[in-house]
Chains A and B, each alone.
Chain A
Amino acid sequence: MALISIRSLTKRYGSAVTALDALTVDIEPGIVGLVGSNGAGKSTLIKILLGLVAPTSGEAKVFDLDVQTRGTDIRQLVGYMPEHDCLPPDTTATDWVSHLALMSGLPRTAARERTAEVLRHVGLYEERYRAIGGYSTGMKQRVKLAQALVHDPRLLLLDEPTNGLDPEGRDEMLELVHRTGTEFGMAVIVASHLLGEIERVCSYLVAIEGGRLLRSAPLGSFTEGTGTLAVEVDENAAGLAARLTEQGFSTAVDGRAVLVALAGDRTYDAVRDAVVELGLPLIRIELRRHRLEDLFRDDPAKPAAAA
């Protein structure tokens, strides 16, 4: 049984906007990155999983429970951190988080204890007795994370958790997400359009674009070698490319670098010989790896053209 199983899930807003287009994917426990550009359908997918939004067609199951009929059961075991602000300014973090713990079904004393624990876990101390209105963005994000964790969910859905944070705040938030997922074995889904962040905390990736599944695979397979050699020279990259093409290699020029499709060890020799023959100042030769950004480009061999 997959943690989340999604079958040809479609969501249309009116007739013009299709947020999800027959999406089918299984998601296993772990820290899963949900990546896609803005408007790819990440938030819509999360809201459907929570039962906040009804799908137009298709089926989605969380913990093997249908989101449309068993929403209340699912939501007791899921923590949700929305993308937008969702905090009352006139209430203290302690009051708000423990109130939401009650809303998740925790008894009153347990709600209070869990609130203190969880606020400490996210790094809020004396501030938690002050009204949220006076908090910095970083502190607000922590409260949002705390309310998602307070009822100790089995699944945590985080929608752009680093939104509005400065670089240091991002690092701390990602570290916290990573630790929550790994040390406590909680399943976490992190939606983000920032691929660099996703790379740092996730073990598995689901990439969507235009409401469709682009790819769903372990992080490692996204970044394994592509078999492209990047040869960076100081001048005449075009000449080098031409020389290698003559010898039957497929090449592309990317600025000062020539990208050569790797065809066995003889590729290295051919590159070396060509550089020597043309007398080019060689800067470096490196084996290119897939980067996450390449997911959103038509041709991985020509990153510059598509960017």
Chain B
Amino acid sequence: MPAQAAPATAAAPVETGSIYDLGYRRYEGPRLGRAHAIRSLFVHSFRSTWGIGRGSRAKVAPFTLAFLATIPALAILAAQALLRQFPGGEGFSNQLPVRYETYASTIGVFVVLFCAAQAPDLFGRDQRHKLLSLYFSRALRRTDYTLARMAGFMLAVFLLQLFPQVLLFAGQVLLSTDVATGFLDQAPELAKAAAQAALTAGLLGGLAMTVAAFTPRRAYAVAGIIALFVIPTIVTGIVVGLGSEDLGRWLILLSPSSVLQGTNSFLFDVPIASDSGGLVPYIPDWVYLVVALGGIVGSVVVSMRRFRGLTV
């Protein structure tokens, strides 16, 4: 009888949770060392930011935001494809409200939310579950850990912002009457968009990670990141409202999103969108670029100092 055969073969009673030794073997293979560990942590950070390897619930927020950030590109492509069906629609389609130079600000809020939601999942999570002592007792150094984590996160933000514009690019090239000309026309614009996405990823990603580095508590980190991105803009508005326009103009450099608007207008050579109290930007465009780069370097340095001094 099969019912009796099964227990007969299981001679040793199997208790769940007992330790059995089926043979531990020594490892004689290669040890690739520190550089390999850094690369692996970089990849892991990128994947973790998207929730990959952390269960299905961790993927909801990042992929929802990515989808929302892609909607404008899809909508534009759909509109252009439609307009092309009508005579004279071609010229009209160039007047569409979403273009490379406006895309960053169109999806800006999603990028900010992405940073606030996902940065604490890397630095905060490692501290919350006391994972750092395991990282720091391996082939990595503390600065390696910090850089790999930040770079992985920045790459995720970079793709979040650039991917929809790549779609836009591909669509427009295919929709253009002459594909080769379309490609040559659009490529420089896409390059500028990529540069802007890199600055956004560096500045917003860097600042978000820096805030996240200072608290294991997710809620505090999220609030801190949102505050850092929003409060300077409000303060600037108040200062301008109180009549100090000169001061207000310089305070705008404390607001990450305003700085990125500045770099955007620098890269695309368009006038800055004046949505913060009708400020006429007398600050030269290149100043925004310098401030953005300074912010990126600063956030990396502060984060490295944080982890160098942290007791684990």
Interface residue from B17, B18, B29, B140 paired with A103 (Cβ < 8 Å): B140
| A52–B18 touching, CB < 8 Å | no
B135 (CB) vs chain A CBs: closest residue: A103
Asked, given contacts A75-B138, A95-B53, A100-B138, whether A89 binds B29 with beta carbons under 8 Å apart, the answer is: no
| A91–B53 touching, CB < 8 Å | yes
Asked, given contacts A50-B137, A149-B24, whether A91 binds B29 with beta carbons under 8 Å apart, the answer is: no
| A105–B36 touching, CB < 8 Å | yes
Instruction: Let me know if B131 is at the binding interface, CB within 8 A.
Output: yes
User: Using a Cβ–Cβ cut-off of 8 Å, how many residues does chain B contribute to the interface with A?
Assistant: 41
Interface residues on A, range: 35 or more
| Measured CA separation A103–B41 after assembly (Å) | 7
Instruction: Let me know if A99 is at the binding interface, CB within 8 A.
Output: yes
Residues from chain A with Cβ under 8 Å of B54 in the complex: 88, 90-91
Asked, given contacts A86-B134, A102-B36, whether A152 binds B27 with beta carbons under 8 Å apart, the answer is: yes
| B41–A122 touching, CB < 8 Å | no
Instruction: Let me know if A10 is at the binding interface, CB within 8 A.
Output: no
- SS class, residues of chain B in contact with chain A: loop
Residues from chain A with Cβ under 8 Å of B243 in the complex: none
Residues from chain B with Cβ under 8 Å of A287 in the complex: none
Residues from chain B with Cβ under 8 Å of A118 in the complex: 24
Residues from chain A with Cβ under 8 Å of B58 in the complex: 90
| Measured CA separation A151–B27 after assembly (Å) | 7
Binary B-proximity of A94-114 (CB < 8 A = 1, otherwise 0): 010001101111111010001
Interface residue from A114, A149, A173 paired with B19 (Cβ < 8 Å): A173
Interface residue from A82, A91, A123, A179 paired with B133 (Cβ < 8 Å): A82
Interface residue from A86, A105, A183 paired with B33 (Cβ < 8 Å): A105
| B22–A122 touching, CB < 8 Å | no
A157 (CB) vs chain B CBs: closest residue: B137
B197 to A: closest C-beta gap in Å = 28
B53 (CB) vs chain A CBs: closest residue: A95
| Measured CA separation A51–B137 after assembly (Å) | 7
Instruction: Let me know if B254 is at the binding interface, CB within 8 A.
Output: no
Asked, given contacts A75-B139, A91-B54, whether A105 binds B37 with beta carbons under 8 Å apart, the answer is: yes
| Selected A-B contacts with CB under 8 Å, 23 pairs | A52-B133, A75-B138, A84-B133, A86-B130, A86-B133, A88-B129, A90-B54, A91-B54, A99-B40, A102-B41, A103-B37, A103-B135, A104-B138, A105-B32, A105-B37, A105-B139, A107-B30, A110-B27, A110-B30, A120-B20, A139-B17, A147-B134, A175-B19
User: A residues touching B (Cβ–Cβ < 8 Å)?
Assistant: 50-53, 71-72, 75-76, 78, 80, 82, 84-91, 95, 99-100, 102-108, 110, 114, 117-118, 120-123, 131, 136, 138-139, 142, 147, 149, 151-152, 172-173, 175-176, 179-180, 183-184
- CB-CB nearest 5 A-B residue pairs: A152-B27, A123-B19, A102-B40, A80-B137, A103-B138
